[in-house]
Amino acid sequence: MKKTITIPLGSQHISLLEPVRFNFSCENEKITDVDYNVGFVHRGIEKACTEKFEYKQVGYVVARVCGLCAITHTMAYTLGIEHILNIKTNKKIDYLRILMLELDRIHSHLLCLAHTAENSGFEGMFMKIMGDRELVMDIQEAISGNRVQFDFVCIGGVNRDISTECEKLAFTNLALLDKKVDDLIGKFTSNWSTALKYKNIGALSYDDAFNFNALGPLARAAGAAIDVRAESSILPYKEVGYKMILGQNGDIYDRNLVRLKEIKNSILMCQNILSGLTEGEILVKFKGKPNGESFTRLEAPRGEIFYYLNANGTNMLQRVRIKTPTFSQIPGMVEIFKGSDYADAPAILASFDPCMSCTAK
Amino acid sequence: MLHIKRFLKKSPWVLHYNTGSCNGCDIEILACLSPRYDLERLGVLNTGNPKQADIFLVTGPLTHRCHDRLLQLYSQIPDPKVVVAVGSCTCTGGVFKDMYNVNNGIDSLIPVDVYVPGCASSPELIMDGIVKALEILEGK
Amino acid sequence: MIKSIIESFSNLFAKSETINYPYEQIAKFKNYRGLIEYSADECIFCYKCEKVCPPDAIVFKPTKEKNRLYEYNPNLCIYCGECVRNCPKEDLALWQSEKKPKII
Ligand code: SF4
Ligand code: SF4
Ligand code: SF4
């Protein structure tokens, strides 16, 4: 006789950063069904953005939707408002913005890799990646003045210029990191406990990636070419050397590799931007109040982020709608959990890199 | 039972719970455990079990749904315990102040011993907070 | 295999990455966003900083005298620096220091 056991994971668990609850129904070792509960961190940011904060303040508030992709939220909001207000930014501003977005992507991907390594029981690797990550955090702190919440982008431009010292620090640290990432790629392709163990585990096929609306590294690891950076021209990504990176099987191994290669691509983009930066204004003056609506898409570290803004000519916005990548990845995640071993559940979860405070807002 | 107190302050274990923060402070707590800052040399170990913990690190402005869980975790930690509120939004509500689903800081529910401001608090500040918590733990 | 053995030996003699923090200071970068500081002598009481602050960390309390009293709550502040950028007398009346906030 088969007996079904229900095993809860969360809402407080050592492998989880955020409160989320999974109820796994298991038969022997296999997971047969998953029930999930993501609303623990709902704060009501969308509502507050229309009632409590003026449109100039909202940029700082939406940054606190999520600490990992803070700059992406501010960026998407700012691009939307600039579209409504008809502000044209110059090249230098665009480049500085891409620089910060890519630095953020590097640190977020490294954190995810560290987490996957930890959940596969490889504590030393976790420490090593977290140590390497400090190189990016240093650049971020030198440029923006804070390690996590940058508050770097504002309506009409950016808040700070890059000094020559920062540029030098960034160059040395990025070169160092580039070498370390090469080393990590070697480890993630040949080491048993981080790589080979996870071949064909937690796989999402190419068709399923479309059926379940997968985004970001999750879809790209399955071979689906979904990336807003390639599709939209709102930021000049093509000029700075963007390259699409695709995997084949969509398992944990491929996801790790896609992330590592994207880090390499991001490092290249940052170096290109830093060497091609010119003198120029970092803030464009603007007048008037927003009136109209806008839709913005941007590629966050985890996938596509979507902002809808509606303003009616006052200081307060009418509607702010945020759709975050993790929200659309949950169906795919549930599908992968079904049929895999319970022992792999934390590692699969970590390789998704879910962000619950984004999802619940 | 001889010198439990003496050993307690040498190796405090921390329990971390997120009550609706933006993850900014959580990843900084994780960065504290990384080689650069390495909290473990102070004897601090991150644990998942409230029954083994001495220091309770809380982040987030306390959403209504985390209310009961926080209370449960707090009551499961054995005495003496020290509660450290990490981040501006944990101390007072921060940007989330007066949003409809939050409680303006965790001190509306449980007593807080150490307030660590900053958004996000840097690992340096978190370490300061834990060192301060150790002093309080010694006195308790 | 050989590569990893060489690596572990070289790591044995490498300089430690850890900063021994409470006993040793961490070098901060320039322009770290720390506490907001204020000088009543220079302020022209335009209350712009109070208006733009997202979490209302700066509040001007009414007093019996003509000018109101500046009050700043470091536990509420999110260190965004928006108040400083909007102050007409930036760096004189209101500025962002590199001090870290006090822990209580
Ligand atoms: S204090 Fe700021 S960075 Fe920290 S959790 Fe709260 S909102 Fe996020
Ligand atoms: S830094 Fe930001 S949160 Fe702090 S007082 Fe200034 S405007 Fe307010
Ligand atoms: S913005 Fe500057 S001058 Fe105006 S009230 Fe604030 S501190 Fe004073």
Express each pLDDT in A150-179 by its tens digit.
878 888 877 777 777 888 888 888 888 888
In tens, the pLDDT along A274-308 reads 887 777 777 777 777 778 888 888 888 888 888 88
Local structure of A33: helix, strand or coil = strand
The token pair that represents B60 in the structure block: 């987030």
Mean pLDDT of C79-99: 78
Is the confidence at residue B99, as pLDDT, over 60?
Answer: yes
Partnered with residue C63 across adjacent β-strands are none
**Section A346-361 average pLDDT:** 75
Residue B6 covered by a domain: no
Using the Cβ of C92 and the Cβ atoms of chain B, whether some distance falls under 8 Å is answered with no
Q: What is the mean pLDDT of residues A107-132?
A: 80
Domain membership flag for residue B129: yes
Give the pLDDT score at C29: 67
Q: How many CA atoms lie within 13 A of B33 on its CB side?
A: 20
Q: If phi over 0 gives left and psi between -120 and 50 gives alpha, with beta otherwise, what is residue A121?
A: left
When CB atoms are compared, the residue of A60, A146, A165 closest to C54 is: A60
Asked casually if ipTM beats, i.e. exceeds, 0.85, the reply is no
First to last CA, chain C: 51
Q: Which two structure tokens, joined as six digits, stand for B117?
A: 């401001």
Ligand 3: residues with CB < 6 A are C 38, 43-49, 87-89, 93-94
Encode pLDDT of B51-74 as tens digits: 778 888 888 888 887 788 888 888
Ligand nearest to the CA of residue B24, numbered in listed order: 1
Which of B104, B128, B130 has the most C C-beta neighbours within 10 Å, making it the best mutation to test the interface with C?
B128
Total tally of structural domains belonging to chain B: 1
B→C interface, C-beta within 8 Å: 35-38, 41, 88, 91-95, 97, 114-119, 122, 124-125, 127-129, 131-132
Q: Is the CB of B88 inside 8 Å of chain A's CB atoms? A: no
Domains of chain C: 26-96 (3.30.70.3270)
- Identify the CATH number of the domain in which residue B66 sits: 3.40.50.12280
Q: Is C67 on the interface with B (CB under 8 A)?
A: no
Range of the domain at B81: 11-139
Across residues A346-359, what is the average pLDDT? 75
Q: Residue A74: which residues within 8 A CB-CB, separation 6 or more?
A: A59, A60, A62, A63, A150, A151, A152, A153
- Whether B2 maps to a domain, the answer reads no
Interchain contact, A160 vs C31, CB within 8 Å: yes
Neighboring chain A residues of B23 at a CB cutoff of 8 Å: 17-18, 66-68, 355, 357
Mean pLDDT of chain A: 79
Residue among A339, A334, A346, A347 at smallest CA distance from A30:
A339
Residue of C nearest to A58 (CA): C54
Q: In what order do the strands lie in the sheet with B55-59?
A: B45-47, B13-18, B55-59, B82-86, B114-116
Minimal Cα–Cα distance from A192 to chain C, Å?
Answer: 12
pLDDT band at A1 (very low <50, low <70, confident <90, very high): very low
In this predicted structure, the answer to whether residue A113 has a pLDDT above a threshold of 80 is: yes
Check residues B126 and C32 and name the one with the higher pLDDT. Answer: B126
Residue B81 placed within a domain: yes
What single DSSP character describes residue A283? B
Distances B40 to A47, B91, B113, B134, C73 between C-alpha atoms, Å: 41, 25, 22, 14, 32
* pLDDT tens digits, one per residue of A48-65: 788 778 788 888 888 888
Level-2 CATH architecture, domain A42-333: Orthogonal Bundle (1.10)
pLDDT tens sequence across A230-244: 777 777 777 777 777
Residue with structure tokens 């994971």? A9
